[in-house]
Amino acid sequence: MKVGIVGLGLMGGSFALALKKEFKKRDERLKIVGLDHNMQHSLEALELNIVDKITDDIHDLLNLDLILLAIPVNAILKTLPALKDASQNTTIIDFGSTKEKIVNAIPKEIRPNFIAAHPMTGTEKSGPTAADRKLYRGKVIVLCDTEENDKEHLFFAKDLLRDIGMKIIKMDAKEHDRHAAFISHMPHAVSYALANSVLKQEQKREILALAGGGFKDMSRIAKSTPNMWIDIFAQNRENLLNATECFIQELQQFQEYVKQEDWESVREWILNANRLHEII
Amino acid sequence: MKVGIVGLGLMGGSFALALKKEFKKRDERLKIVGLDHNMQHSLEALELNIVDKITDDIHDLLNLDLILLAIPVNAILKTLPALKDASQNTTIIDFGSTKEKIVNAIPKEIRPNFIAAHPMTGTEKSGPTAADRKLYRGKVIVLCDTEENDKEHLFFAKDLLRDIGMKIIKMDAKEHDRHAAFISHMPHAVSYALANSVLKQEQKREILALAGGGFKDMSRIAKSTPNMWIDIFAQNRENLLNATECFIQELQQFQEYVKQEDWESVREWILNANRLHEII
């Protein structure tokens, strides 16, 4: 199988390593061509044996069996027009964290080939050196608007994703973005806001002294670099603003209870939050 | 050594197990008497060999070498008057997460004996079954207003805390509460608010599908039970409201940038949050 991976960071690099492991197990041949506008990343990916070859021309990928787009969501939008001449036999998967704008921008020539996916995994690290062949194992991947896909491309993609250990869930792209705003995008904004408010008020000594597991967990994703997240916030702007507003209202409700020393309501409010325990 | 532990939950239970491990290593005798108003917890602590004996009368502890108060902060305030008859040889340590109200309420008879401490560790679990002898290892413990302590009691407490692997930091009680509001108490309120806003808007299927590592980390402490946290919020009310307000302002600033599609300011804001990486 010949695979082109656009974007050799954490997501693309980890996908390459997972495929390599799987094909070695099957004793089948696999060739991975990488493309990344960051030359340093390209060279690192070659050195680390994540890819077998590097190209800087996306046309070199258009006749491969599979193309993976593992780049920030605005970069996906910019890349889509160049993919319209891809072979009808080429399956294309994108790993963007927003889906509605992407599915609306897929050129009609490749709509049957194009699997719009969002893998629910990642870390705060980035670049090929962060790649981890186990990143996808046991994790959920959401496939959106699959009714637009050709069955063969869809089955091929699903088999491959399952082979590297992922659990597949289907969702409407528009719904996906609304849900992702609440469960993923807004929490990232909250983590950044938490880090910023603490950095503004506190000194290094006190942060080091008082940061227990709770604060460390809550601020971990505040270490994520802006590149990917600005694109996501921009593409999912309306849903994000709505989710952030709901969250702020919830916290203001808490403030009101505390101001009024209404501890019985605080208890109810906490007990309600504890219900999350029953789900995850 | 004879130790009385008031409160046989996660914190008290873990302290007992850590002491037992340490004294076994030293080949010294240790006897631990437990007190917990929850009879179920008392019996579990006995069965799990966390304590050697149970009592329901605090006077049984007043002549031991050490008394640990590992109960919610309001319960500490209520217990303090009963400790005023403790022996001058008894060292008393409290593990409350707020410190100012507690140090102000210590009876003068035992002020030299009383070490006001806040261990920066814990989990979202509770009860004796959650006890873990490694809970304190490598973690920071903040000791407040130690200039009020008798040197012998202070040295004894510091040695013991270091023996179970803790790193000691000193802080003024009032300052501690202001810092803890930002770095510990407000983040808990934020996690509860996050859980509540998501539970209000989202169904179980979507939460399960889309909850990646980021959301799981950020909502973990929203599983903490109300008992301990209502007391903390109540005792540190002013500082908590101030920290929560600073946090909301930070998030509202982000909302404003997003509304205005001012992505350059969002980038600056995120890069600033990323600085936390240099500290923890």
Does the distance separating the beta carbons of A213 and B217 come in below 8 Å? no
Q: Does A192 contact chain B (CB < 8 Å)?
A: yes
Residue that the structure tokens 């009609």 belong to: A108
Does the distance separating the beta carbons of A200 and B246 come in below 8 Å? yes
Q: Does A271 contact chain B (CB < 8 Å)?
A: yes
Q: Distance between CA atoms of A92 and A30, rounded to whole angstroms?
A: 17
Does the distance separating the beta carbons of A123 and B277 come in below 8 Å? no
For A38-79, write each residue's pLDDT tens digit: 999 999 999 999 999 999 999 999 999 999 999 999 999 999
By the 8 A CB rule, do B72 and B6 touch?
no
Q: Does A10 contact chain B (CB < 8 Å)?
A: no
Write the single-letter amino acid at B250.
E
For B239-272, write each residue's pLDDT tens digit: 999 999 999 999 999 999 999 999 999 999 999 9
Give the chain A residue whose CA is nearest to the CA of B237.
Answer: A258
Scan residues 114-153 of A and list those with Cβ closer than 8 Å to B.
Answer: 120-123, 139-140, 142
> In sequence order, what are the beta bridge partners of B66?
B3, B91
* Averaged pLDDT for residues A110-123: 95
* CB burial readout A146-185, b (16+ within 10 A) else e: beebeeebbebbbebbeebbbeebebbbeebbbbbbbbbb
Scan residues 29-48 of B and list those with Cβ closer than 8 Å to A.
Answer: none
In chain A, residues with a C-beta closer than 8 Å to the C-beta of B245 are 255
Best mutation target, B136, B179, B232, to test chain A (most A CBs within 10 A): B179
- The distance of A167 to chain B (nearest Cα, Å) reads 9
* pLDDT value, residue B129: 95
- pTM of the complete model beyond 0.80: yes
Does the distance separating the beta carbons of B218 and A191 come in below 8 Å? yes
Domains of chain A as residue ranges with CATH: 2-171 (3.40.50.720), 176-278 (1.10.3660.10)
* Averaged pLDDT for residues A121-143: 93
When pLDDT is cut at 50, 70 and 90, the band that residue A277 belongs to is: confident
- The distance of B255 to chain A (nearest Cα, Å) reads 7
One-letter-per-residue 3-state SS of B52-102: CEECCCHHHHCCCCEEEECCCHHHHHHHHHHHCCCCCCCEEEECCCCCHHH
A198-202, A211-215, B38-42: lowest mean pLDDT where?
A211-215
- Going by their DSSP bridges, the two strands A91-94 and A66-69 should be labelled as parallel
Q: What is the ipTM of this complex?
A: 0.90
The contacts of residue A222 (CB under 8 Å, 6+ apart) are: A191, A192, A194, A195, A196, B273, B274, B276
In chain B, residues with a C-beta closer than 8 Å to the C-beta of A250 are 193-194, 196-197, 200
Question: What are φ and ψ of residue A131, in 5° steps?
Answer: -60, 140
* Averaged pLDDT for residues A85-113: 98
In chain A, residues with a C-beta closer than 8 Å to the C-beta of B192 are 254, 269-270, 273
Does the distance separating the beta carbons of B192 and A273 come in below 8 Å? yes
Residue that the structure tokens 């179980």 belong to: B204
